[in-house]
Chain A
Amino acid sequence: MLLGQIVYGLVIGSIYSLIAIGFSMVFQAIGLLNFAHQEFMMLGGLIGYTLAVTLNLPAPLVVLLAGLGAGCIAVAIEKVGISPIRHRGGAEINLIIATIGWGIILSNAAMLTWDAYPLGYPQRFQGKPLNLGGISIVPQNLVILGAGILLMILLQLFFKRTWTGQSMRAAAEDSPTAALMGIDTDRTVSWTFFISGALGGIAGVFVSSIFYASFEMGLIGLRCFAAAVLGGFGNIVGAMFGGLILGIIETLGATYISSAYKDVIAYGIVIVILLIRPTGIFAARRTGLT
């Protein structure tokens, strides 16, 4: 029972991680709290639904294309509605409100496109439950967990090994210096949004295949903000673990404490972490205190 809960928590957690990583990446790159981020997840879920049901594509392709789609939309939004504000030296609050505006636009455009009803993924995405050492596990969950972890490893490799990844890290660390060294910081920001959106989109397919896809599902994604803080905002590895931990805390908390108060647990942790360890539980570099 407990083990099953933990595995399920990890599955949910790996989805949270994917979303939290995107949230953190954007914060690290341009210091922005992206309140539209959870909508990339929602878009991924809905695009995935169309690909899976209307076009009847195989699951891996659905995941890939939905990620690509959400990533492209993220870049488009960055180009049209985020960077112009930054280039004019807009205040933090203006950027935040702009992302809130985009969030509203995205979820309502999605409602007009896909309608307001929840859309379930076809049966083939779930598979038959397996019995592993006494625990009943839906294979889909294992696939999600595996795919999630694989994605995070790939992301680390991307940051360490590729030129684009390295320049993104450099630009996030110290943008002016990176620009002096010939890194096109506008491009790294676009890349950041693309990856952030794509990870969100993929997470959206995962979430929708477990539950359903809907224009309102962004609300689930908002909780990943807690995961991002837990891991130290702007710390990608931290966000990954933050997501996993949040998934477990939430699943166990819902079972053993009260499901009604699970948001209190998650956000209470956010406040406490920000106060005692603003760099999260993993890093010790930046500080949020004055």
Chain B
Amino acid sequence: MRPRFTYGGELFLWRWLRLTMANRYVISPFAIITMLAALLLPLLLDPFGFLILFLDNILVFVLLTLGLQLILGYAGILNLGHAAFFGLGAYTSAILTKTLGVPFPLAFLASTLMGLLGGLLMCPIIRLRDVYFAMASFAFGIVAYVVFSEWRELTNGHIGIRAIPPARLAGIDFTSSLNFYYLVLPCVIVLYLVFRLLLISPFGTSLNAIRQSELAARSVGMHLAAIKVKTILIGAAAAGAAGSLITHLQGFVSPELFNWPQSITLVTMMVIGGIGSFPGAIIGTFAIQFMSEYLRFLVEYKMLIYGGVLVFFMIFLPKGIAGVVRALVVAALERRSAR
């Protein structure tokens, strides 16, 4: 008897894999399954509250890495100052809700806008080419950090702002990590879907084109600066939103979270997960966060191992985890079609 999950004699799985690889889906079945799983996951993890808190944190970072992937992986802009947008969003939300008593939804929007504004501030350096942009954006991040840590009247300096009211939306209180999970997950899903649609649009084609040949892209009438600016603005706005969420998740902000090592960590997540792939960005975020959380038993060797993993990946797996998975799937598909 034929099993019911076949399609013309072919397992659904293979068909899905094949079509996903050929980039034929707007939203691949794997993405849908992952989203459904993510929606149901807390029910499974319910007894382990701390795990959900950990997931909340990761999902906030996914908002950052998805945006950075658009900038770095798709537009090929070496942004080493992404944490600045994150910080702008976080401080905006902290100051608005705590000092001015603005309700969370408004603060969230304001944070997103502030992230966008941060993106605008970065725009003048957009005309620098690759490594020069990397240096300038790195400097941009440091300048932002110094402002966060030294503008004491506004940010309370290195001590940071504490006792920030939790997020409340439509009468629901998002203090518990479970509730918060259902606040941040929709954000991630919406962002992912929007990015997916953007990618298959002419805008996405332009991004791909620019990365592969700036000259050719200009010759067919693509406005490089405008496209790069848009990418940075979108990524920065997402980072601003993430900043608002992290503020209300933690209940406090301090400048260290937005210093240059954070920007570098975000890029690291991208590279470990796989440059130029949104699932890669998500995988990379999980991988790095898990590593920093679960390598604790190594105590003082933790960072040493972490550095070693980075170097190992760059030498042997430069395309990241997504690249490895992709290669394996392609190999499996080829073996099947050869049969």
Contacts and interface: CB of A to CB of B under 8 A. Distances in A.
A231 interface: no
Interface stretch (A94-102, A136-144, A156-164): A94-102
Interface in A21-37: 27, 31, 33, 35
Interface string A96-120: 1110111111111101100000000
Contacts of B304: 104-105, 108-109, 112
B268 interface: yes
A264 B315 contact: no
B157 to A, nearest CB: 9
Contacts of B202: none
Contacts of A109: 304
Interface stretch (B14-22, B142-150, B325-333): B142-150
B116 interface: no
Nearest to B145: A263
Given A102-B307, A112-B300, A97 B271 contact: yes
A100 B146 contact: no
Interface in B183-226: 214, 224
Contact of A104 (B125, B267, B307): B307
Contact of B125 (A27, A107, A264, A275): A275
Interface string B269-307: 001000100000000000000000000000011011011
A260 B150 contact: yes
A270 B271 contact: no
B318 interface: yes
B134 A111 contact: no
B125 A274 contact: yes
A290 B130 CA distance: 9
A285 interface: no
B8 interface: no
A272 B183 CA distance: 40
Interface residues on B, range: 35 or more
Contact of B318 (A85, A263, A268, A289): A85
A108 B308 CA distance: 11
B311 A98 contact: yes
Contacts of A33: 131, 134-135
Contact of A274 (B136, B267, B310): B136
A92 interface: yes
B318 A90 contact: yes
B13 interface: no
A47 to B, nearest CB: 18
Contacts of B150: 260-261, 264
B214 A290 contact: yes
B308 A101 contact: yes
Contact of B271 (A35, A93, A105): A93
A54 B131 CA distance: 42
A156 B72 CA distance: 38
A263 B142 contact: yes
A260 B264 CA distance: 23
Contact of B124 (A31, A229, A275): A275
A81 interface: yes
B318 A88 contact: yes
Contacts, number: 136
A95 B315 CA distance: 9
A215 to B, nearest CB: 10
B4 interface: no
Contacts of B268: 97, 100
Contacts of A271: 125, 136, 139-140, 143
Contact of A278 (B132, B301, B309, B314): B132
A94 B136 contact: no
B162 interface: no
Contacts of A275: 124-125, 127-128, 136
Contact of B143 (A96, A102, A103, A263): A263
Contact of A290 (B127, B271, B301, B313): B127
B339 interface: no
Contacts of B253: none
A198 interface: no
B129 interface: yes
B129 A289 contact: yes
B128 A278 contact: yes
Contacts of A226: 139
A242 to B, nearest CB: 13
B88 interface: no
Contacts of A91: 275, 318
Interface in B52-83: 72, 78
Nearest to B265: A100
A163 B338 CA distance: 57
A233 interface: yes
B128 A289 contact: yes
Contact of A270 (B127, B130, B139, B275): B139
Contacts of B78: 92-93, 96
Contacts of A102: 307, 311
Q: Max chain B CB contacts within 10 Å: which of A81, A267, A270, A275?
A: A267
Contact of B142 (A31, A98, A105, A267): A267
Contacts of A261: 146, 150
Interface in A232-290: 233, 260-261, 263-264, 267-268, 270-271, 274-275, 278, 288-290
13 contacts: A81-B314, A88-B318, A91-B318, A98-B315, A101-B308, A108-B303, A261-B146, A263-B143, A264-B150, A267-B143, A288-B128, A288-B129, A290-B128
What 3 pairs between A and B have smallest CB-CB spacing?
A: A101-B310, A104-B307, A288-B132
